[in-house]
Amino acid sequence: MSYFIENSYVSINKHDEELCGDRVETAYYNETQTLVLADGMGSGVRANVLSSLTSKIICTMMSNGMTVEDCVETVAATLPVRKDVNVAYSTFTILQISSDGDVYMVQFDNPLSILLRDGKAVEYPVEVNIVGDKTLYETRMKAELGDEFIMFSDGVSHAGIGISMDFGWQSEHICAFLEKNIHPDDSPHTVAAKLADAAKELYLGRMGDDTTVAVMKVRQRSELSIILGPPANPEDDIPVIKDFLSRPGKKIVCGGTTSKIVSKYLGEKVETCLDYLDPKIPPAGHMKGVDLVTEGVITMGRVMELSQQMVDKTLPIDWAEHKDAATQIAKMLLDEATDINIFVGRAMNSAHQNPNLPINFSIKMKIVEELSQNLEKIGKRVNVQYH
């Protein structure tokens, strides 16, 4: 079975620090996803430099088939040494998962990662390996569908020390939190955001350390198709609609003219849903034969904004709780789909040529371009077709 490996992370800076001392790097090569979470000594600029160098070097080398021993030696020779203690130090966690489920994980001085399987924290095999003066914990195993590997810096395990908890957030308590609060359908970003937000609460909002949570999840591939605007040539309407409807998975129709064409072809009416009104977003509709019908450019503009927030790691933890049309589309694209087909019509909409309306053809093209780029940045496979 070929799996889709999805990942995301959330970082929160230490109080009064402009730079985060933790760093996450990812790479996809040869059907294998590699993620490195590094935590530089201290905080601020020095820690940021240490973690950035460590994560970049290891991720690049590991994704190209180098051994962890080579990585550790290269990092030790590269990191700048702090003169007062003669130490160049950055902890790290390396996780690689291939499309057929082979897992290789290396952990050095970070809190041990947690594996959630069927909503429960489960044990995984660990071997101790000494490389130079470093003790590495190595894991080789086969992943199962739905497995979620949750990695974090010690900003999570230290959360609340001397503030809300005597000894910080112990591993068993973190596991209990995850088992209680994480739903199997949650995306990696949602899982990371929930755990990071809980750590922030234990710090009472004043972060005592840089705090990062990274999550990698094993999923089945899930296709979604979305059509925005009719083709430039009306003779292409039916062939394009047939192609769109023939694709597997969920289907979203955007735009009034587009929905009329699909409605006529299917012989089904569009029913507007007024349950979730948002003054900024036109209401969604429903039509038998597709999963969602919405307005076009305004709605997709908001979807693009949400995708940018996910790329920037600024998406609010409760974003998916909104029920407006744009959020419904974003949830399907960002959380559910792995492979996304975007059908873009080049027909000019006369309603958009009104100089008093801030909408035109070039804006639609820009939205599609930025949205597809953002989707690819978070690991989706995107196919854009222009008609």
Give domain limits for the chain. 4-219, 223-386
Segment 194-220 shows an average pLDDT of 94
Segment 371-384 shows an average pLDDT of 93
Integer Cα distance of 22 and 48 in angstroms: 6
| Backbone φ and ψ of 254, nearest 5° | -120, 130
* Contact call for residues 363 and 297 (beta carbons, < 8 A): yes
Q: Which residues contact 375 (CB under 8 A, 6 or more apart)?
A: 307, 333, 334, 340, 382
Note the CATH architecture for domain 4-219: 4-Layer Sandwich (3.60)
Above 80 in pLDDT, residue 227? yes
- Among all chains, which residue has been given the structure tokens 């969920």? 250
* Contact call for residues 345 and 232 (beta carbons, < 8 A): yes
State the pLDDT confidence band at 279, using cuts at 50, 70 and 90: confident
Integer Cα distance of 203 and 156 in angstroms: 10
Q: Provide the pLDDT for residue 350.
A: 57
pLDDT in tens, 130-168: 988 788 999 999 999 999 999 999 999 999 887 766 677
Q: Provide the pLDDT for residue 267.
A: 95
Which residues pair with residue 138 across a beta bridge? 106, 127
Segment 64-77 shows an average pLDDT of 88
State the pLDDT confidence band at 317, using cuts at 50, 70 and 90: confident
Phi-psi region of 109 (alpha: psi -120 to 50; beta: other; left: phi over 0): left
Integer Cα distance of 204 and 268 in angstroms: 53
Q: Provide the pLDDT for residue 83.
A: 59
Q: Which helix (H) or strand (E) holds 237?
A: helix 237-246
Segment 173-177 shows an average pLDDT of 96
The count of residues in the chain is 387
Integer Cα distance of 285 and 326 in angstroms: 12
Integer Cα distance of 40 and 4 in angstroms: 30
State the pLDDT confidence band at 89, using cuts at 50, 70 and 90: confident
Average pLDDT score, the chain: 90
Q: Provide the pLDDT for residue 358.
A: 47
Integer Cα distance of 358 and 49 in angstroms: 43
* Contact call for residues 152 and 93 (beta carbons, < 8 A): no
Q: Provide the pLDDT for residue 303.
A: 97
Segment 232-241 shows an average pLDDT of 93
Segment 187-210 shows an average pLDDT of 92
Above 70 in pLDDT, residue 86? no
Q: Provide the pLDDT for residue 182.
A: 94
Which residues pair with residue 22 across a beta bridge? 39
Q: Which helix (H) or strand (E) holds 156?
A: helix 154-157
- Write the CA distances from 201 to 182, 183, 209, 289, integer angstroms: 17, 20, 13, 45
Above 90 in pLDDT, residue 30? no
* Contact call for residues 295 and 250 (beta carbons, < 8 A): no
Q: Provide the pLDDT for residue 368.
A: 95
Above 60 in pLDDT, residue 87? no
Above 60 in pLDDT, residue 353? no
Above 90 in pLDDT, residue 359? no
Integer Cα distance of 112 and 95 in angstroms: 12
Integer Cα distance of 79 and 114 in angstroms: 28
